[in-house]
Structure 1
Amino acid sequence: MWLIVGLGNPGKEYTSTFHNCGFMTLEVLAQKHNIRVDKLKWKGEYGRGTIQGEDCILLRPHTFMNLSGQSVIEVMRFFKIPLDHLIVIYDDIDIPRGKIRVRSSGSAGTHNGMKSVIYCVESQDFARVRIGCGPVPEQWDLADFVLSSIPKEEQETMLKAFEEGAQAVEDILSGKPVPGGRNRGGSHHS
């Protein structure tokens, strides 16, 4: 069994913000595989289904970003999911918008949701799919930017990134090796 987590913030005001790229990518994956992520438990919303022949739990923590790890560890303990069967999808301001990066381990960088997951699972050794939403425009504060809505003119670029992110999860589940940091996806459109 695998646990696939999309990081984000609950609430309508955060729905289409850069910080919810993890939620939106998870939703693309769920729709593609007809998995309803609508059951409430473990401080989040989850659904269960099969992707690439693998039994998967899809999880959207509802703890707000900086406590996401609490939800993740509860699901991992309940289903006895090992670290090598955890995939976390989240936004990354250090990757250009429209690109994704897949890694098998690493630090959280500036991402508080990932800091929480790493703290709660007591390891950095799990796969992650990072959805690029950078760079932060010079005139913006980091927190204000990631909590801002994705502009209309960038929604198509970001949707392609969500689709690429969903494909990256499928690749991991298919047994394709997780690279140390290979970029995938389209180019950044200014």
Structure 2
Amino acid sequence: MSDNQSDVTYCNARNKGNGDTLEKRDPAPEHAGDGYCSRMTDGGRCRMHGRSGGAPVKHGLHSALRDDLREYVEHAANMDAPGDLKGELAVLRGLLYDFLDGKEQLDEAGVKSAHKLLSELRKTSDTIHQQMMREAPTQKEVRRFTEQVGQILREYVPDEKRADALRELDRLTEGKGSL
């Protein structure tokens, strides 16, 4: 603490319980009044309101990110059917794009955060792929279906058109399965 009175500033952070009722004040040579911290410092906030060893300065970044995340999730929830992870994938992509937007260089924590988001993106897209593959017919099912359609064509299509219909069915299935 300096002996020179002109170098002394008041913290002027809002005291607990006055969060939304009082406007934010910067550290200043004058005390802001009741409801504000009256600790004197050499400049900036006191140790209780953001100086080293104290609580960090509140900047609203996390609440803004939380609002963005809520918006992404609500948008995804309104678009998708239950069990459809495409909305979740869009949320993760949006978060990653927003995180990386305008950042020329990332520190170690930023790289770790981006890697974690990418990992979640990979997991979600892999789960979507697995769901799609479960719904897709297997080669065996496609072959059985084309054979059954071929049988129906042989039974109900006149002889003069049957060979053309069978060739067309074989072409559509790219020659898979025997007719």
TM-score, normalised via structure 1 length: 0.21
Q: 1 or 2, which has the higher strand percentage?
A: 1
Q: 1 or 2, which has the higher helix percentage?
A: 2
Larger relative contact order (C-alpha < 8 A, sep ≥ 6)? Answer: 1
Which is higher, the Rg of structure 1 or of structure 2? 2
